[in-house]
Amino acid sequence: MPDIRVGKFDDIADGDHKIYATNGREVGVFRVGQNLHAWENHCPHAGGPICQGKIFGQVGEVLSPGKESRGLCYTGRKHIVCPWHGFEFDIETGKHPGDAHTRLRGIPVSVKDGDIYLTFNR
Ligand code: FES
């Protein structure tokens, strides 16, 4: 199947995303710096519209050398939070932070001459 053009790279601001309906699916395209990450708009938990969730910084815990908590912090990574039940996924890897087997389904995405293309293998 040929690549499908869905929009222009410059239409998505850094840290933002757009959802495109194409090839019978909805796909969220997220921009992180100069990179794009595309995920099916289908949460692996129960099918919710994951790409319509809010984006938050990942929260981590600062530990002392003795493994005592020194408080919480932002790690610098971004998570999208499913609007149905709150599962979180890393925007860049699609992985759930607590279960590497629970992850978003990625769609290959590329940019040619400023246009965004999605590649569907089925
Ligand atoms: S459907 Fe996404 S957390 Fe339940």
Domain ranges for the chain: 4-118
> CB-based contacts of 12: which residues, under 8 Å, 6+ apart?
18, 29, 30, 31, 36, 116
Residue 1 — very low, low, confident or very high, per pLDDT cuts 50/70/90? confident
Kindly state the DSSP code that residue 106 receives in the 8-state scheme: B
Percentage of the chain with pLDDT > 70?
Answer: 99
Rounded Cα distance, 7 and 29, in Å: 10
Q: E strands along the chain, which residues?
A: 4-8, 17-22, 25-32, 35-40, 54-63, 69-81, 88-90, 95-96, 99-103, 109-112, 115-118
Q: Which atom of ligand 1 is nearest to the CA of 87?
A: 3
Q: To the nearest whole percent, how much of the chain has pLDDT over 90?
A: 95
- Structural tokens at position 101: 């087997």
Q: What is the pLDDT of residue 122?
A: 66
pTM assigned to the model? 0.90
* Over residues 42-46, mean pLDDT: 97
Q: Provide the token pair at 93.
A: 């890897």
Q: Indicate whether residue 87 lines ligand 1 (CB < 6 A).
A: yes
| Residue pLDDT, tens place only, 60-105 | 999 999 999 999 999 999 999 999 999 999 999 999 999 989 999 9
C-alpha 43 to ligand 1 mean position (Å): 6
What is the CATH T-level fold of the domain 4-118, as seen in this structure? Answer: Rieske Iron-sulfur Protein (2.102.10)
Question: With a 6 A CB cut-off, is 43 part of the ligand 1 pocket?
Answer: yes
Distances (CA, A) of 34 to 13, 15, 20, 73, 85: 10, 10, 19, 25, 30
pLDDT at residue 31 above 80? yes
